[in-house]
Amino acid sequence: MRQNFHFHCFYVRSLHRWQQLYDRAGASVLQPVHHTSLDHHRLTLHIKRDDLLHASISGNKWRKLKYVLRQALSDEAAGLLSFGGAWSNHLHALAAAGHALGVPTVGIVRGEPEYAANPTLTDARAWGMTLDFVDRQTYRRRHDADFLAALALKYPGFYIIPEGGSCPLALPGVAELWRELPDCDQLILPVASGGTLAGLLSARPASTHVTGYAVLKGKDWLADTIHELYSPAADDSGWQLRLEHHGGGYAKCRAEDRGAIAALSEALAVPLEPVYSGKALLGLFRDIEAGRYPSGSRLIFLHTGGLQGARS
């Protein structure tokens, strides 16, 4: 009985830390930017700087994890477990969040143990995350019921979070972003696991179209994933996926694209990385040059963070 009481008090304290963590964060900066392409096509562009929300729990991870963390703490989970690659922004953010809340974390990492020395996983280990490395074949089973059951036995009582944090509980945290935005014609963002786009669609104003730039090869499955996370999206004509700007696949970026992203970063005075926001913003400007955005449109681009991954 005494032990149960102490465990309960621990999670009450952790919930209090969660409340403090999120209460301290205000709205992220909405930065106006200028570029000759915008002037030529008579467009205005602001960048929603979610990369500045938190030093370690960056961008969309801050929003996606918000209610996932609260649910895990309310359930008095023994810890938090999730999945990612060796440079995963999600695992990096989860480790930082677990450290801030005083909750153990486990990362199931796709790759070899020698990756543990890279900057992302060095941070995660410093924040107390246990790293469990698996090969690519095993990692592909991360959605399989039997594999998840085996993990539940290995890490009893841990709250299991899908890769990227994309799950139904991620949606309301992302949807809160609309409260911080002025009226606009287009909200534009990078898309990988689909949770951020699904969350935005769950509260999309009728006057705003949402365009997601896929940063991986998502032609056959990405839209279906978004429909699974938020089923009304299947009948919503107010959004689209741009699938032509993945640059060869996830975390792949041609040398000429890297140079173009660096030039865009300097011109806009916004830090970018070549995996998510940099790749998507480059795609946006190429579409602007192609005349895809009507003259006079008010555009907002969501910077989803992930700059820590640029340390590779």
What would be the CATH architecture of the domain defined by 2-8+60-165? 3-Layer(aba) Sandwich (3.40)
Contact 303, 46 (CB under 8 A): no
Which tens digits make up the pLDDT trace of 188-210?
Answer: 999 999 999 999 999 999 999 99
Domain locations in the chain as residue ranges: 2-8+60-165, 26-56+170-311
Q: Which pLDDT belongs to residue 220?
A: 81
Q: Which pLDDT belongs to residue 26?
A: 84
Q: Which pLDDT belongs to residue 7?
A: 53
Residues of the chain with pLDDT under 50: 1-2, 5
Which residues have C-beta within 8 Å of that of residue 97, sequence separation ≥ 6?
A: 21, 57, 65, 69, 80, 105
Q: Which pLDDT belongs to residue 10?
A: 74
Which tens digits make up the pLDDT trace of 88-132?
Answer: 999 999 999 999 999 999 999 999 999 999 999 999 999 999 999
Q: Which pLDDT belongs to residue 62?
A: 96
DSSP string computed for 98-140: HHHHT--EEEEEES-GGGGGSHHHHHHHHTTPEEEEE-HHHHT
Q: Could you check whether 2-8+60-165 and 26-56+170-311 share the same CATH topology?
A: yes
Which residues have C-beta within 8 Å of that of residue 185, sequence separation ≥ 6?
A: 207, 208, 209, 294, 297, 298, 299
Distance in angstroms (rounded) separating the CA atoms of residues 63 and 294 = 30
Q: Which pLDDT belongs to residue 70?
A: 97
CATH number assigned to the domain covering 26-56+170-311: 3.40.50.1100
Which tens digits make up the pLDDT trace of 237-247?
Answer: 999 999 998 88
